[in-house]
Amino acid sequence: MSDLACYAVSIENSRGRAVAEPAPVERSEFQRDRDRIVHSSAFRRLEYKTQVFVNHEGDLFRTRLTHSIEVAQIARGIARALHLNEDLVEAISLAHDLGHTPFGHAGQDALNECMQKHDESDGGGFEHNLQSLRIVDLLEENYGDFNGLNLCFETREGILKHCSPQKARGLGEVGRRFLENHRPSLEAQICNLADAIAYNNHDIDDGLRSGLISLEQLAGVEAFAQPSEEVLRKHPEIAGRRRIHETIRRMINAQVIDLISETRRNIACENPQSLDAVRTAPPLAAFSTAMHAQQRALKIFLRDNLYRHYQVLRMTNKARRIIGDLFGAFIESPDLLPPQYQAMARENCHRAVADYIAGMTDRYAIREHRRLFAVGEI
């Protein structure tokens, strides 16, 4: 890691961990963070959590786990090219979705709705970014000396992508940038955009695989149409999976290269000489204007044609009902909760129920719903 840029996060400029620990042997502090994330139970649960398609709908669709691995792969490549801290980027990428509920965004919306109704001391509501931070700061129970994973400040800062000012006030140092309108590290900025590159492309891939969207529809989407024509010029006979993969790999490549060169340009223009200079500068990691417009069009296409497809909406509707039912049952009778959550519920009942539900995998939530509601099940 000796070729880090002067504005990259390093061991020297890191704000360290909340609980001081001896320095790791034969690995960096950020490698240790990544390792703790990979060994957490929240990370293993990602395997059975929905990205767009519910986990049991097909073995080849992305899950939160494969999504997170794709984000890490894309973000690491960008970080290396820009001489940023690759270990930190990997840690943030692998942890960025730990707080997601079962059933993807539908699950989050349902849980948020349930939590809005309660005037909580912690401001109420449910948001997956905040939940990811809650998991690594508090909920994981693996270590003798602290709750959570005791990660470095910069890893935690990268995990907390968005936050309302009201919530930020309760988060201490890691929430402060939202009140001061400062940026996170370039490593965190890169992870954010790598997340978008990963899901836009794999949702196109999964959408085509599922048959809910078609190649004909995508002919009108510039980000897809351009590389698709190039593939057909080079391989006039190509069809099926090969055609899709050849197109999508070109899309990812074009987006990554665009992001690297535009970010490089912004860095040259702003000329930050330290990590603190990155925090007070405008956002430096960015797509070019043309690529940004393409990405936006791609997002709108996915929203209108995949995320709002009636077959996806049927699933999200069912998911909302499952989450709502579970929430209602546990709030009414907290003694139905497993013992460790009952202890938490004595402090803050709604938050304990939200923590329990958010931690469920898709199939666990379905099973738990059946156990609580199906007549004839015990």
Question: Six-digit token pair at 244?
Answer: 């899709």
Select 197 or 221, whichever has its Cβ closest to Mg ion.
197
Select 194 or 337, whichever has its Cβ closest to Mg ion.
194
Residue 127 is a binding residue for Mg ion (CB under 5 A): no
Segment contacting Mg ion (CB under 5 A): 55-63, 89-97, 183-191, 289-297? 89-97
Segment contacting Mg ion (CB under 5 A): 90-98, 149-157, 298-306, 313-321? 90-98
Select 195 or 203, whichever has its Cβ closest to Mg ion.
195
| DSSP of 305-363 | IIIT-HHHHHHHHHHHHHHHHHHHHHHH-GGGS-HHHHHHHHH-HHHHHHHHHHH--HH
Please state the closest distance from residue 295 (CB atom) to Mg ion, in A: 15
- Report how many residues bind Mg ion under the rule CB under 5 A: 2
Please state the closest distance from residue 53 (CB atom) to Mg ion, in A: 15
Among 90, 97, 203, 258, interactor with Mg ion by CB under 5 A: 97
Q: At what angle do helices 240-270 and 289-302 cross, to 10 degrees?
A: 140
Please state the closest distance from residue 66 (CB atom) to Mg ion, in A: 11
Residue 206 is a binding residue for Mg ion (CB under 5 A): no
Question: Six-digit token pair at 61?
Answer: 């669709």
Task: Please give the Cα distance from 103 to 201 (Å, whole number).
Answer: 20
Task: Please give the Cα distance from 222 to 133 (Å, whole number).
Answer: 36
Please state the closest distance from residue 161 (CB atom) to Mg ion, in A: 9
Please state the closest distance from residue 190 (CB atom) to Mg ion, in A: 14
The secondary structure of 110-128, three-state, reads: HHHHHHHCCCCCCCCCCCH
DSSP label of 137: I
Question: Which amino acid is present at 368?
Answer: E
Residue, CB closest to Mg ion:
195
Residue 195 is a binding residue for Mg ion (CB under 5 A): yes
- Per CB under 5 A, residues contacting Mg ion are 97, 195
